[in-house]
Amino acid sequence: MSQQGHAVAGSGGLVLGVVQKLDEKHHIIPEYKIEEHQAEAEVRRFLQAILQARSSLQDEMMLLKEHPHANELLPILESHHLMLSDPELQAGTKCFIEQEHINAEWALKRCLHGFEQTFEHMEDVYLKSRKADIIQVGQRIFQCLDVSPLAVNQAQSIMLAADFAPSDVVTMWRDGVAGFVASQGGKDSHTMIVARGVGLTGLVGAQGLFEQAEDGDILLLNAEENTWVINPSPDECLAYETQQHDLDKKRDALQAYATQSSHSRDGFYLPLLANIEFEEEVDIALQYGVDGIGLFRTEFLFMQSDTLPSEAEQAAYYKKIVQGMGDKPVTFRLLDVGADKLAHVQTLFGDYDGENPALGLRGVRMLLRRPEILKAQLRAIVGCGHTSEISILVPMVVSVEEMQAVRTLLEEAKLELNIQQNIALGCMIEVPAAALIADDLAKVSDFFSIGSNDLVQYGLAVDRSDEHVGYLYDANHEAIKRLIQMAVDAANQQHIPITVCGELAANTAWTKTFLAMRVSGLSMTARHVLAVRKQLRDL
């Protein structure tokens, strides 16, 4: 019998695939049946993994005893060592292997699940918190059983996890994964923006699915309506095929707009640009006939390594984007280390440990604290343009002084590289303070770009990645409209271009409003360009 439910948001598309659950480390736990005569060897493999995990943990504890701050961590590791010797853990896993004839990883996973459920239902808060220790002990054993991270050849698999980082989405897309579902997250989280950018079907904020789905179940994802069905019936599969056919026809009809210009019916030109962050997206954007790149997120390159990319590495990467776009304009946003990316790159920026990174040292604030990183990025960008039209966008601006400081470093970079080309420096209007002083910022900026996702988030004090307050994230709120209008009025008065960037730009219900405001361009996920262009040409 099929089971179904809803999710908070989806990245678009319909997918029928096989469930593959991932653990907290995004590792795949292999599950397969074994022959009865293989059980003894599988038990030995499990017990050997226990011994290996205990030995490794003992080595860690010996090293830690010499550390001056070991008093807090040592008792935790000692408790983990005791858990590894727990006869119930060993006996329970051994029982699953011998009676169910399943592999050691699967047996351990089922045994640990029973322990976790026991701790979860305890009333004592302290004992309930020990569930995390069980999970960590299990991870040690899995590692010794040689459980591998997310691997290639996952076609037709639908990955399920508590959460996915933007880099996980890219990895899954490159490896041919059919789709993904996360129990956490919101509609306009960075993860979902990336998923929509590459066209990977997915759902976030899906409640109930993880408790009901098992590895190997058939799962139907309808990210057009934000629904899911486990083990769909024949009738539901037939309805899926019909809806997939209709969706394909709709996409084919929209594709005709890829070769048409971005003009309204009365001839007003409104460039439709793409937001991208890695080189494979250039080809996707060109297939949709974009008029340029309105926002290239440069932080993805920084998140691929534990060390800073050199100026030469950055320049080579940026040059690929510029060359790929031909004679179409490209706007590079300077490194924007936001709240959803800070943990990955914190080591690159020293000892910063702010408690609220969303309101802390991020964007231009972080860059001005480390001017050598900013200078290297500016040199890499200006050095890759030459004959192409490139621009630079400054994130998280709240003052005129920040724009002036970046411009000084930009001019120094141009002088050092003997670059005569004019390179526009733009200000992102994504913080309410920037909109409120837009008339001043317009005097020190060559253009504006309204970061609609963050403007809504900061304007309404709503975390756009939190499914619990997602209902408050409303771009139609009168306060947001006023902030946008203030920025547009200031740009028009100073005669500088202003582009709206983000999910709001892709909302066809706003296209007419942006025309009336006399916005200079819209920048969005490339896959939304055709629908917006169709709407634009009817206005």
| pLDDT above 70 coverage of the chain, percent | 88
pLDDT of residue 338: 58
Facing residues of 219 across strands? Answer: 17, 230
Name residue 214's amino acid: E
Phi/psi at 310 (nearest 5 deg)?
-70, 165
Tell me what pLDDT residue 149 has: 46
User: How much of the chain, in percent, has pLDDT values that exceed 90?
Assistant: 53
Q: Is the pLDDT of residue 213 over 80?
A: yes
| pTM of this structure | 0.75
> How far apart (Å, rounded) are the C-alpha atoms in residues 183 and 205?
5
- 155-169, 191-205, 416-430: the lowest-pLDDT one: 155-169
Assigned token pair, 418:
């003997």
Neighbour-count burial of 306, counting CB atoms closer than 10 A to its CB (0-12 exposed, 13-18 middle, 19+ buried): exposed
For 369-407, the pLDDT digits (tens) are 989 999 999 999 998 866 679 999 999 999 999 999 999
Average pLDDT over residues 179-202: 84
Q: Pick the residue with more confidence: 194 or 318?
A: 318
Average pLDDT over residues 76-103: 89
Mean of the per-residue pLDDT values of the chain: 87
Max intra-chain CA distance, the chain: 82
pLDDT at 73 over 70: no
Q: Does 69 score more than 90 pLDDT? A: no
347-377 residue pLDDT tens:
556 556 666 767 777 899 989 998 999 999 9
What tens digit of pLDDT does each residue of 256-295 get?
Answer: 999 999 999 999 999 999 999 888 899 999 999 999 999 9
Q: Say yes or no to pLDDT of 153 above 50.
A: no
Domain ranges of the chain: 3-21+151-237, 36-144, 263-537
Answer for the pair 127, 121: CB distance below 8 angstroms, yes or no: no
The architecture CATH gives domain 36-144: Orthogonal Bundle (1.10)
The pLDDT, as a whole number, for residue 487 is 98
Helix pair angle (311-324, 371-382), 10° resolution = 40
For residue 386, count other CB atoms closer than 10 A to its CB. Answer: 11
Locate tokens 């400081």: which residue?
Answer: 405
Look at the block and give the residue holding tokens 């141009």.
414
Helix, strand, coil proportions of the chain in percent (round to 5)?
50, 15, 35
Question: Does residue 344 carry a pLDDT above 60?
Answer: no
| pLDDT, greater one: 301 or 262 | 262
Residues shown for the chain? 539
Instruction: Give the pLDDT of residue 152.
Output: 37
Q: CA-CA distance, 371 to 415, in Å (whole number)?
A: 17
Same topology between domain 36-144 and domain 263-537: no
pLDDT score of 489 more than 60: yes
3-state secondary structure of 371: helix
- Please name which of 2, 17, 8 lies closest in space to residue 180, comparing C-alpha atoms: 17
Q: State the architecture of 3-21+151-237 in CATH terms.
A: 3-Layer(bba) Sandwich (3.50)
Among the listed residues 174, 179, 185, the one whose alpha carbon sits nearest the alpha carbon of residue 213: 179
Is a pLDDT exceeding 90 seen at residue 342? no
Window from 25-39, 43-57, 251-265, 373-387 with minimum mean pLDDT: 25-39
Given a contact cutoff of 8 angstroms between Cβ atoms, the answer to whether 279 and 320 are in contact is yes
Residue 154 has pLDDT above 60, yes or no: no
Q: Is the pLDDT of residue 346 over 60?
A: no
Measure CA 111 to chain center: 32
Averaged over 193-199, what is the pLDDT?
84
What architecture is the 263-537 domain classified under in CATH?
Answer: Alpha-Beta Barrel (3.20)
* Spatial strand order in the sheet of 227-230: 3-6, 227-230, 218-222, 14-21, 157-161, 179-182, 202-204, 9-10
Question: Is residue 148 predicted with pLDDT exceeding 70?
Answer: no
66-80, 318-332, 392-406, 441-455: range with lowest mean pLDDT: 66-80
